[in-house]
Amino acid sequence: MPTALITGASRGLGAAIARGLAPTHDLLLGGRPSSELDEIALELDGAATWEVELTDHDDLYSATEMITSLDVLVHNAGIGSLGTIEETPADEWRRVLEVNLIAAAELTRLLLPALRQARGHIVFINSGAGRRVNPGWGAYAASKFGLRALADAVRGEEPDLRVTTVFPGRIDTDMQQEIVAMEGGDYDGTRFLVPETVAAAVVNAIHTPIDAHPEEIVLRPTGRR
């Protein structure tokens, strides 16, 4: 079977994508060492954990060195950040850009030979913040606009690869609960996308016949379940 590497696979959307790809792909489940990552690997019999700190470039190099062919790379790992420009110091900008953009760029760079070998497919999980900026979301939106630029650049430079950017609206996950708490609101998950719905769109993009290139997918919650 083809091989897929999914970052941020221990919970939420990453775990849902892993479940969606499990019937058709050998899986490398990326994430920090955790019981959650081990549990999803056990659930998906045959999946392997790929334990790495994405912002540690030496660790990342070691973890990718033995991957010689890769059919699918899903960039799902990321962090949120809230604060006005006035409230956001340089260290927070560095933290957000390092995780959401630079780590994805470096992982892509290191895996390009393996992806070229398989004529593979890269999926970037972006955000609505990668298409528009709301007040208080400057650093996060900058990282997502940068991620969009990274995907567009790879698509132009690597014509033998397919590169898909997914722009989902808010998703009903643990991370979303933390964000709503930071915003000071009451959490109502029914207003947001179900992780499995976004995962299905990702899986469908990956399964798109090779004569087509699904470049961008935009998903917005309807508020209906």
Q: Is the pLDDT of residue 190 over 90?
A: no
pTM of the model: 0.94
Domain spans of the chain, in order of start: 3-214
pLDDT tens by residue, 89-139: 999 999 999 999 999 999 999 999 999 999 999 999 999 999 999 999 999
3-state helix, strand and coil shares in percent for the chain, rounded to the nearest 5: 45, 15, 35
Q: Is the pLDDT of residue 10 over 80?
A: yes
Q: Which residues are the active-site residues?
A: 140
pLDDT tens by residue, 12-30: 999 999 999 999 999 999 9
How would CATH label the architecture of 3-214? 3-Layer(aba) Sandwich (3.40)
**What whole-number distance in Å separates Cα of residue 77 and Cα of residue 97?**
12
The average confidence (pLDDT) of the chain is 94
Burial 90-123 (b: 16+ CB within 10 A, else e): eeebebbbebbbbbbbbbbebbbebbeebebbbb
